[in-house]
Structure formats: structure tokens, C-alpha cells
Chains A and B, each alone.
Chain A
Amino acid sequence: MFAPIFIVLIVTVGPTVDTLEVDHDRERLAEEMIEAGEDPSALEEELQERAAWRIDLNTATEEAVRSLPGITPAEAAAVLAFRRRGGRFRSDADLRKAGLRSDAVTAIQPYIRFSPKPRRMQLEFVQRWTRTLDPGRGYGRDTTGTRYLGSPDGLSTRLRLQIGKRLTLGGTLDKDPGEPIEWPISYERPGFDFAAGYAAVEEVGVIGQAVLGDFSVDLAGGLLLGHGRMRASSIRATHARVRLRPHSSSREHGFFRGVGVATRAWRGWSAVGFLSRRFLDGRVEAPSWRLSASGLHRTQTELDGRRAIRESVLGAGLSYRRSFVEGALIMVEAGYETPSSLPLRRRRSVSGSMTVSRGPFRLALEAARREDAPAVAASLHLDPAPFTRVWLRALDSFDGALAAHTYAGVDGTGQTRRETSREAGVRIRPAENAAATLSSRWQRRPSSSSLPLWTRHVSAFVDVRAGAWLHVHLRVSERRTEEDGACMYGGRTLRCAVSSLRRGLRLQAEYAHSRTLRIRLRIETTHYRKRTKVARGMLMFQDIRWEPTPALRIDARLLIFGADDYGARLYAVENDLLYTFAAPALAGRGMRRYILARITPRPDLSVQIKYGLTSYQDVRTVGSGLDEAPGRQMRALRVQLRLRLGSE
């Protein structure tokens, strides 16, 4: 049995940003991250949070404006200059008057609002319940050996209280399917398996930002040109300074626990410092040790690895911004030890970066050092001609360097990795309603990595719009990888590099029949080759979004897929509950259907219900390991209630 569900209703303010909106960069980025072994859910969650907590463009802090996804630093400066001149934003037309491009206005629309006066207080409470309706053998009563300790229900409770512009309090409780809920509660086990919380203030005295509790750090242009994969995308966050981001997600990794402070700018100078100490899941078998990022504690084995390693992080930075020049110096020291203080590793990283932005030109350079390992990176964004954008990026670094969504100084295995990568792209907009993009990325990693040794990814896509109601998207991509494998030579098995090739073609049309009815149709094929093995995949889906009344919105999808094997798998990002992300990998043959309803009976109350069903052909079981279930289908039900109260 699980604890009673705390039903909290949250008012949805404005439309939720989701994948049915025209935002192929987000989908493409998410799929590239998945292919590279990264987790895009943090990126998606951040963008959804920004959409749920839109900033008032007239009263938001300068850093909040600069960090809007999809606009350049020059455009952010133009918005701030418009405000300083006494201008007031009342509609999108005012944004264009301030100097923003049309597509930048479209890009930031989900994240801004124009309110006559600021709100004094806002409370958001989210309660989510999920359950797989075809539980695996890990939940069986008669299973011998390992089994899950808890029920197949997933529970997540999130609370956020914003008081004025300055003070925010938040907390999250989370239980994954299979994890038990334990009573009585204690510091180590607060009933739910995971708990996070924070108190954050902004712009109080000399303090620009301060967070006590759980937070992550966005490093702008530091420690190898910022974090994650957002650096070369149109939705890249344009942070100009180091920014502390309170952690309210149910993700159990990729954040710090302690205190962080960033000062306000004084004559262009600002400073940041953060201190963190927390326990991480992992396994220590001297001399090797390994961190775990899953956050799952469903079995006794997984529980045994809980809080096995203690991470201590001390970070400090100094940044300067004046006119078109920005510079930053950042130092991070991270230490890992067992709870009994047996040291495992200590790393110190230092980086200095400089960014020059002038009109259509933005150049960022960074030099960093970890212990005796140097690293350099450079990035160039350029608009050489009207409606043309070029970007170049080169990186030669140690991987895992304080990315905001991974561990400080090391990767999930406790190791540091070098990475060399080159990236180039060009986007051309020959007409207002058409754009073509070509991008190429080459990446090399050392042989000790579990990821491919080298990867080359080339993609080209074309977007054409016919008015506001039809959008056609075509994408062609090719990905070549070389990874560690085993080859037979002269009757012996030797270690060798094995190359693979994966080609994809996607054609998608989005049609808005009316304000209340939209459809999206996609056809996608893949071709995969590895050694002598060739595999093909095909996917087709039909999405419908229908809003018969303002209080009801229905998203439905019918998807048919067929992939010869996992190498030819396909991904299809789905609409999902707020603050969650779903992009199932589809292999084998089958059909996936889901229906997602959002009911808003009152302005302060929103209920989302999602029922999904994946059925496979010619199989007897679905899933693997303890999640293996008999039959050919896997069904899941997800329900989320959201309450949002706000007062002027």
C-alpha cells in the first residue's frame, strides 16, 4: 500500500509548451542527446519549468531576460535597453520594436508574459501518480530470488512557493515504481525514497542570487563552454554569468546540496561561490569505485549502494561584463570519499573564458586545466548575411567537467574522460517561411569510455511553412561511429574497432486546421549497418490535438513501428505530463498508442491523464530483467493534478 495521494490542483497559466508546438530543435536535440548517452530530461524539464513560470518581461531581472531560450545576447541587451528607455512590453509587436527577429519572438513566446503588475505570491503544488498496468516479474509474489521491495506505483509531490520577485521556496518528494515507502521517516529515508528542497532569494542587497538547499550551477561560458548540449542550438540558454538554479526536479542526480551565492553586478564585476556536500549512490570495491545515476532503490542490491560515496564540492568564480565583452574565471574542487572518510579521488579544475559579442558576431574562448590535463575550447556564432547563421565549435577537453547535469569533475563511473570534438553548422532562411540547416559534429573519446570511440554526425533539415497552418519538415541524417569490439583474426578473438553506420530520413507535416484542431503526421525510416549486418526501421505516426472547449484538451497518437533490431531503432518524443519527458526507443514490430487529456475545470486547477499502450508482434514477453512481463503489450496510466494559486 502506498501513502495517500495528496491531491493538489494547480492552475495552468497559459498553454503548456510541448512537442506539438513547432520546435524541431528541441526534439532533434533530445534525440541527439539520447543517442550520445545523455539524458535530455533535464533540458526538457527546464524548458517546461520556464514555460510554466513565465517571466514578466517588464519586471524580470536582467539575468532572467538574458537566460531566455532562443534569443541572442544582443537581443537580450536590446530588450533591457528598451526597458531602460522607459519602454513597456504589452505585446509581441513591442518586442519587434525593441529589435528582436520574428523567429526570436516566436521562440521566447512560451516563456514570457506581459502583466500589468507583479504578483505578490504564487503557490504551485503538483501531485503525480503513475502505474504500469502490466507489472513485471519483479512484483510477483511467487518470484524466487530478487524482487522489488515496493509497489508498481510511482509517486511524486512537488511544491513551489514564490513570494514576490525575490523569495522562492520549493520541495520535492519522489518514489519510483518498485521502491518502498518507509515509515517512520528519518533524515535518510523521509518516507519517500527521494527528497529535495531549497530556499532561494534574488536581488537582495548585494546578493544577486542565493540558494540554500539543492541546486545546480549553469556555468555560462565556463568550464568548457557551458553545459549540456544547448551550446549550438537555437534554444541555447544565453546565460552571461554563472547562474544558480534551484533543484525541484525528481531527478536524483546532477545537483548539489549546500549553499550557493552569486553577487549582483558592480561596475560589471560579479562573483559566485558554492559549497556542496552530499551522498551519492554507488559501489566501492577498492581500488575501483563507481557512481550510479539511476536513483533507483527497488531491490536490496540497489539499496545497498545508496549513499555509498560522499561528494564534496567547492566552487568559486569571478566574472566581468562590459559592453560587448564578458569574461569569467572559475575554480571547482571536487572530492569523493566513502562515508568512513576513505578518500577515493580529488579533482581541481580551473577555467578562464572570454566572450566577445558584437552585432552578428559572438566568439567565446576558454582555457581550462584539471590537475595536469589542459583543455581548450572555442565557439563562434556568426550572422554573416541577413537570414544566415553560422556556428563553429572546437573542443579538446576532459569530459564530465562540471556539467550542470552530471557529477562535478567526474562522470558516472568516477572517471574523467578526454573528449575532442568539432562542430559546424549553417542555417539559411531564404524566405520568411523557409529555412534550411546543415550541421556536422565529430567527436572522439578514449578507448576506456563505454561510449563510441569516435562519432561523426551529419544532419540536414528543411522547414517550409505555408501560412500559419501548414508546416513541412524534412530531415536527413547520417551517423557513423567506431567503438570497441571483438574481431576474429586467425582463429583468435582480438580487440578491435568496429564501425557502424546509421542513416535516417524523416518527413513530417503539421497542419493546423483551426485553433482547436491540429494534426501532425510523420514518416521516418532508418538504415543501420554494422559489419555485415544490415537492419532497417520505419515509423509512422499520426498525432491529433483537439480542444473542444477551453477546459479540455486531448492529445492522441497512433504510431506503427517496425525495426529489424535495436540498431535500427527509432525515437519519437511524446507529449507527456507537465515536468516530465518521454521519448521511447522503438525496436521490434508493433504499435504504440496514447491519449493524453488535460482538464482545466477552473483557472487554478488542472488535471492531466495519460493512458499509453505499446503492443508488439511476435513476442511472448515484453521488457527485460525484473521488468519482464508476460504477454505482448505494456500499458501505463499516469495522472497528475496541479494547483496554482496566485495573488496580486
Chain B
Amino acid sequence: MRIGLLLLALCLADSSAGQTATRGARAAALGGAAAALANERWGESNPAAWAHAGAPSLSLHAVQLYGLDELRHAAALAVLPLAGGGAAMGVGTFGFDLYRETALTLGYARKVRPRTHRPILVGARLRWHLVRIRSYGSASVSGLSAGIVFPVEPGFSLGATAANLLVGPGPLRSELPRLASLGAAYSVGRRFLVSVEIGKDVRRPGTVRIGTEFRPVDAVALRCGMTTDPPTGAVGAGLDLGRLTADVATERHLVLGWTPSLSVHVTW
């Protein structure tokens, strides 16, 4: 059983499902369609979102893939505002005693105004992965991801990201997923948001992600989303109390089952 879970962990580490584990509960509830969201705090879907950091923040995230204790992921991310943008530092861990993956993240994003008053957000993320398999040893690899968000009009934005655009040398070099995503997000007033994203992993077919968010009141958000590959549906909710924000989500894979996740953000 544990060997099977080890194999599953290895497979998940080398697939887009690995992204499910790291992207934050809000993005998870939106089906992963967060590439064009400039206010996505976790920044996993698009590191350019860190450029909106107005105050220092600490984010914590936990997810349990398919309800299995052995496939838990936990991460912490601190974002510090800098002149014109923000810097991010984080750490995450995934797996169990037979298989443990640890990741360290450094990121930077800023707003730029290329000869116009309208800014664009650009960001980059450097992540170092260390994989340790009991009785086999360990290996590491680093990857550089980048993203850009264009706030085209108030309420409408386009986003593009490339995950692991550049990958460092090492035996795990070919194991990191390499993805490109194009997204668009449209807000109807302050209450309703639709986000669409199309992504392509080099090794997998293309995927379409759609997410919607509804805020009946400012402090509460209700979300749902879907992804075509892997075939997944998701629902979630968020509570925004100013300095404290909490998001929960649960995703259901057509075959593998439910994946609950929780994210908490604290700003000061």
C-alpha cells in the first residue's frame, strides 16, 4: 500500500497535478483559472500577482490530495512590498516518510509602465526542489517561472505564464512540468468574476480551466470551477476580514476523488 502511494506520489510530482497541490485554495476553487488574476495572493498561477503587494503578508496553505494522508502538501509564503512591486519567499513540503519533496521559493514582481499610464505586472519565480526517497537518496533541481498580467480595462485583464521556462541541470531536469498558460479574467461590477485559462503542458494535451467567483457581500466569496485535464470540478468559499483572509476549496477528480485545501492570509 505504501509502495503504491510512493508510486502515486512520484507520478503526481511529475504531472500537472503537482500544480494542484501548490496553487492555493482560491485558485483551486476557480478550477485553476487564475493566470489573469492580478489580486491572486498566493501567486502560484502567476507570479506577477505579487506586484500588487500593498502590505507585508504571510500566507499558509495546506492540501490533502485525494484525501490521502500521505499526499499532504503544506506551504508558507511571505510577501514583502517593495518600491513598485513585491518580493516573495516561501517554503513548501509534500509527501510522507518514504517520499518527501521540499521546495524553496524566491520571487519578485513589479509594475511597469512602458510609455503609458497603464501599468502591467511582471513577475518571476525561482524554485528549488529537493526530492528525497528513502533508501534511494535525494536529488534537486531548480526552475524559473515567469508571468505577466495586463490590466487591459478596469475589470478586464489578460495574463500569461510560463512555468519552468528555464530549468537547471540535474537528474530531475526532465521531471519538472513545463507549462504555458493564457488567461483572461472579467469582472462584472464588484460582485461577479469570470476567469478562463487555457494551458498546455509539454507532455500532456491542452487543458481548459474556467472559474467563477460571486461575492454576495464584500466579505464573502463563493467560487466554483472546472478543468478538462485532469477532469476536475471544484467549489470553494472565501472569507475576507480585512487583515485576515481565509479560503477553502474542495476539488473532485473524476477517478481519484476529493482534494480539500485551505489557505490563510495575514497582512499587517
Q: Which residues of A contact B (CB under 8 A)?
A: 469-470, 509, 511, 513-517, 519, 521, 523, 525, 536, 538, 540-542, 544, 546, 548, 558-560, 562, 589-591, 593, 617-618
In-complex Cβ contact of B203 among A514, A517, A589, A593 (8 A): A589
Select one of B182, B200, B203, B205 contacting A617, CB under 8 A: B203
Closest-CB distance, B115 to chain A (whole angstroms): 5
The reply on B150 being an interface residue by CB < 8 A is yes
The 3 tightest CB contacts between A and B, nearest first, are: A514-B116, A517-B114, A538-B206
Cα distance A518–B179 in the bound complex, in angstroms: 22
Cβ A560 vs Cβ B114 within 8 A: no
Binds A, one of B126-134, B157-165, B252-260: B157-165
- Quick one: which of A509, A536, A540, A548 contacts B180, CB cutoff 8 A? A540
Most buried by A among B114, B116, B158, B201: B114
Tell whether, in the assembled complex, residue A562 and residue B160 are in contact, meaning their CB atoms are under 8 Å apart: no
B114 near A546: Cβ-Cβ < 8 Å = yes
A516/B115 in contact, CB under 8 A? yes
- CB-CB < 8 A to A536: which residues of B? 205
Residues B202 and A523 in contact, CB atoms below 8 Å apart: no
Interface of A is mostly: strand
| Closest beta carbon of chain B to A306's beta carbon, Å | 42
Docked complex Cα distance between A538 and B198 (Å) = 11
B73 in the interface (beta carbon within 8 A) = no
A612 to chain B, nearest CB (A): 15
Q: Given A514-B116, A519-B160, are A560 and B180 also a contact pair (CB < 8 Å)?
A: yes
| B150, A540: Cβ atoms closer than 8 Å | no
Q: Is the CB of A548 within 8 A of B114?
A: yes
Q: Is the CB of B198 within 8 A of A540?
A: yes
B150 touches A513 (CB 8 A): yes
B178 within 8 A of A: yes
User: CB of B244 within 8 A of chain A?
Assistant: no
Q: Which residue of B lies closest to A542 (CB)?
A: B160
A523's partner among B152, B179, B182, B205 (CB-CB below 8 A) is B182
A536 CA / B205 CA spacing, docked (Å): 9
B83-120: which residues lie under 8 A (CB-CB) from chain A?
Answer: 114-116, 118, 120
Docked pose: A513 CA to B116 CA in angstroms = 8
Q: Which residues of A contact B120 (CB under 8 A)?
A: 513, 517
How distant is A582 from chain B, measured CB to nearest CB, in Å?
A: 20
Distance in Å from the Cβ of A511 to the closest Cβ of chain B? 6
Bound CA–CA A599/B43 (angstroms): 34
Q: Contacts A511-B150, A513-B116, A517-B120 given: A558-B205 contact, CB under 8 Å? A: no
Which of chain B's residues 165-181 have a Cβ closer than 8 Å to chain A?
A: 165, 174, 178-180
Residue from A470, A525, A546 in contact with B206 in the complex, judged by beta carbons closer than 8 Å = A525
**Complex: how many Å from CA A538 to CA B179?**
13
Cross-chain contact A516 with B162 (CB below 8 angstroms): no
A519 to B184 CA separation, bound complex (whole angstroms): 14
A540 lies within 8 A of B152 (CB): no
Nearest B residue (CB) for A591: B202
| Total contacting residues, chain B, CB less than 8 A | 26
- State the CA gap A511–B182 with chains docked (Å): 13
Interchain Cβ contacts under 8 Å between A and B, 24 examples:
A470-B152, A511-B150, A513-B116, A513-B150, A514-B118, A515-B116, A521-B182, A523-B198, A525-B206, A540-B182, A542-B162, A542-B180, A546-B114, A548-B114, A558-B180, A560-B178, A560-B180, A560-B201, A562-B203, A562-B205, A562-B206, A593-B165, A617-B174, A617-B202
* Apart from the given pairs A514-B114, A521-B160, 15 other A-B contacts in the complex at a CB distance below 8 Å: A470-B152, A509-B158, A513-B116, A514-B115, A519-B150, A519-B160, A523-B206, A538-B205, A540-B198, A559-B180, A560-B179, A589-B203, A591-B178, A617-B174, A618-B203
B81 to chain A minimum Cβ distance, whole angstroms, is 24
Contacts A542-B182, A560-B180 given; does A590 touch B202 at CB 8 Å:
yes
A517 neighbours in B (Cβ, 8 Å):
114-116, 120
Nearest opposing residue in chain B for A590, CB measure: B202
Q: Is the CB of A589 within 8 A of B202?
A: yes
Q: How far is the CA of A264 from the CA of B154 in the complex (A)?
A: 59
CA distance A270 to B165 in the complex (A): 60
Q: B114–A540 contact, CB under 8 A?
A: no
**In contact, B114 and A513 (Cβ under 8 angstroms):** yes
| Residues of chain B contacted by A544 (CB below 8 angstroms) | 148
Chain A residue nearest to B166 (CB atoms) is: A593
Residues on B with beta carbons closer than 8 Å to the beta carbon of A538 = 200, 205-206
Give bound CA distance, A558 to B179, whole Å.
10
In-complex Cβ contact of A560 among B152, B174, B200 (8 A): B200
- Residue numbers in A under 8 Å from B198 (CB-CB): 523, 540
Residues of A within 8 A of B206 (CB): 523, 525, 538, 540, 562
CB distance from B225 to the nearest CB of A (A): 19
B198-214 CB mask vs A (1 if < 8 Å, else 0) is: 11111111100000000
User: Which chain B positions have C-beta within 8 A of A469?
Assistant: 152
Min CB distance A358 to B, Å, is: 45
A627 CA / B69 CA spacing, docked (Å): 51
A420 to B: closest C-beta gap in Å = 38
Residues of B within 8 A of A548 (CB): 114
**A540: shortest Cβ distance to chain B, in Å?**
5
Which residues of chain A are near B179, meaning CB under 8 Å? 560
A619 to chain B, nearest CB (A): 11
- Chain A residues, CB < 8 A from B150: 511, 513, 519
A470 and B204 alpha carbons, distance in the complex (Å): 30
Inter-chain contacts of A509 with B (CB < 8 A): 158
Contact between chains at A515 and B202 (CB < 8 Å): no
Report the minimum CB–CB distance from B174 to chain A (whole Å).
8
A521–B159 alpha-carbon span in the complex (Å): 10
- Residues of B within 8 Å of A470, CB to CB, are 152
